[in-house]
Amino acid sequence: MEGNKEPKSPEWWAQRAWSLLSAVRRQSPLVQCITNFVSMDLMANTLLSAGASPAMLHTLEEIPDFTPHAHALCLNVGTLSAAWLPAMKLAADVATKAGKPWVLDPVAAGASGFRLKACLELVELRPTVIRGNGSEIIALSNASLHPAKGVDSSHESTDAVKSAKALAQATGAIVAVSGAVDIITDGKRVVGAHNGVAMLQRITATGCSVTALIAAFIAVDQSRALEATAAALSVFGIASEIGMNMANGPATLRMHLIDSLHGLDEDAVTSRVKITGFCDEK
Please tell me the CATH code under which domain 10-277 is placed. Answer: 3.40.1190.20
Using left for φ > 0, alpha for ψ between -120 and 50, and beta otherwise, residue 184 falls in beta
Identify whether the C-beta of residue 199 lies closer than 8 Å to the C-beta of residue 253: yes
Confidence bin at 144 (pLDDT 50/70/90): very low
Average pLDDT, the chain: 91
Q: Which residues fall within 8 angstroms of residue 23, CB to CB, at 6 or more apart?
A: 220, 221
Q: 123-139 pLDDT, tens per residue? A: 999 999 999 999 999 99
CA angle 259, 265, 271 (to 5 degrees): 115
This prediction's pTM? 0.92
- For residues 180-188, average pLDDT: 95
Give yes or no for residue 20 having a pLDDT over 80.
yes
Rounded to whole angstroms, how far apart are CA atoms 173 and 144? 19
Q: How confident is the model at residue 8 (pLDDT cuts 50, 70, 90)?
A: confident
Taking each helix axis from N to C end, the angle separating 113-123 and 134-142, rounded to the nearest 10 degrees, works out to 80
pLDDT digit string (tens) for 265-277?
Answer: 999 999 999 999 8
pLDDT of residue 152: 45
C-beta of residue 134 within 8 angstroms of C-beta of residue 176? no
- Percentage of the chain lying above the pLDDT 70 cut: 90
